[in-house]
Structure 1
Amino acid sequence: MNRRMEIIKELDLTLSKVSDAECEKFLGFFDKKRRYFFAGAGRSGFAIKGFAMRMMHLGYTCFVLGEPTTPSIHENDVLVIASGSGNTASLVSMAEKAKSIGAKVMIITIDPTSKIGKIADAYIQVPAPSPKVQSELSFESIQPMGSLAEQTASLIFDSLVLQLMERDNMTSDEMFKNHANLE
């Protein structure tokens, strides 16, 4: 079997173990009247930036933490974090600050019992292995480090976008109107 097919089998395994209930709870926090802040580090950071972009295409007000035009977070805003471990110090600090202000915190993580997981209003557990986290849901991947977890998170984000498209009655053509046009 070639490596691409092995990766697809791993992704099929992890995605089949993602909780529908956790995804539904996560989706319940999305309302176009709110503002959304997205944060992640490393490859999880790349995954969440892709999610933030699609949420903007859907018409949500979105900001990526660390960008110079990101405003301050306020009560009832939502901080969405991608962190395999859920214990990345900078992200823990952001989550704690957001909670102290009265913002909601959501995380996609391997470990919902992590520091961020424990204070999150909603989480989606990624059942994939990582050298940073031991999980009873994980197995040994052929891929290095946390690659499978990061790929799984990206695909979960894409599935959430599809669900929000359906819920919000948005088409890809309508979303494309929000696509960058100064390229």
Structure 2
Amino acid sequence: MTYQESHRQIIKELSNTLDSVSEEQVSKFIKLIENADKVFFVGVGRVLLSLEAIAKRLAHLGIRTYVVGQITEPAITENDLLIVGSGSGESAVPLAIAKKAKKFNAKVAHIGSNPNSSMKEFSDLFVRIPVQTKLYLPDEISSVQPMTSLFEQALLLLGDTIALQMVKEKNIDMKDLWQYHANLE
């Protein structure tokens, strides 16, 4: 497979995947973000990298974001939201953190592929990216890419799509966003 064929296949997979995400779930997700005092993120591996990028982008919109485990992470409260990224919904660390967040009455939104995962017990909202996970469920969108690359890529683009929706809904001037960008670089 050539470079051109490979990237076209990836773009096609991403387009099909993002078209399969529920607009209703996304709208509810945006409301949870907007209504939270602070937004926390938890995931592992490449999913965590995508979540970190989403946290940074939402911080550019003036939202107070934190990645679980960072040194300056504050306490979570009933006024906050925990966003869990886990395709399978069975990853041990995100499950434990979601369970703990619920003990503090925080809202929990799970972005994943498996609607019947263990994470379901701790989630107030599930946003499904219906792609192939390590579970190989029958209704998952398959991928030619290795492992769960399609989930991680779609997660990142979902975050950027949500950020764009929020910018448009709030009629934010893009130039004004630079006030939130890191300036010690």
Distance in 2 (CA, whole Å) between partners of 1:102 and 1:42 is 27
Counterpart contact for 2:77–2:106, Cα < 8 Å: yes
1:45 is paired with a residue of what secondary structure? helix
TM-fit CA distance, 1:134: 2.9
Name 2:137's counterpart in structure 1: 135
Distance in 1 (CA, whole Å) between partners of 2:85 and 2:36 is 22
Distance in 1 (CA, whole Å) between partners of 2:151 and 2:36 is 31
TM-fit CA distance, 1:32: 6.1
Name 1:163's counterpart in structure 2: 165
Aligned mate of 1:79, from 71, 79, 82: 82
Distance in 1 (CA, whole Å) between partners of 2:178 and 2:105 is 33
Counterpart contact for 2:36–2:81, Cα < 8 Å: no
Q: Which amino acid aligns with 1:148?
A: L
Matches within 5 A, 1:54-65: 54-65=57-68
Distance in 1 (CA, whole Å) between partners of 2:61 and 2:135 is 33
TM-fit CA distance, 1:167: 2.2
Moved more, 114-123 or 18-27: 114-123
Counterpart contact for 2:36–2:80, Cα < 8 Å: no
Provide the alpha-carbon RMSD of the alignment.
1.4
Identity of aligned residues (%): 36
TM-score (ref. length: structure 1): 0.94
Name 1:93's counterpart in structure 2: 96
Distance in 1 (CA, whole Å) between partners of 2:122 and 2:96 is 12
Matched residues, number: 182
TM-score (ref. length: structure 2): 0.93
Q: 1:179 to 1:32 in 2, by over 3 A?
A: farther
Distance in 1 (CA, whole Å) between partners of 2:107 and 2:173 is 28
2:159 is paired with a residue of what secondary structure? helix
Distance in 1 (CA, whole Å) between partners of 2:87 and 2:12 is 20
Distance in 2 (CA, whole Å) between partners of 1:121 and 1:142 is 32
Structure 1 stretches lacking a partner, 5+ long: none
Q: Which amino acid aligns with 1:50?
A: A
Whose helix fraction is larger, Structure 1's or Structure 2's?
2
Q: Which amino acid aligns with 2:18?
A: L
- 4+ residue runs of structure 1 moved beyond 4 angstroms? none
* 1:81-132 residue CA offsets vs partner (Å, 9 max, x unmatched): 11111111111010011011110000110112211133211121011112x2
Distance in 2 (CA, whole Å) between partners of 1:155 and 1:27 is 15
* 1:9-66 residue CA offsets vs partner (Å, 9 max, x unmatched): 1111111111111111111112266111111111110011011001110001111111
Structure 2 stretches lacking a partner, 5+ long: none
Distance in 1 (CA, whole Å) between partners of 2:130 and 2:135 is 11
1:123 is paired with a residue of what secondary structure? strand
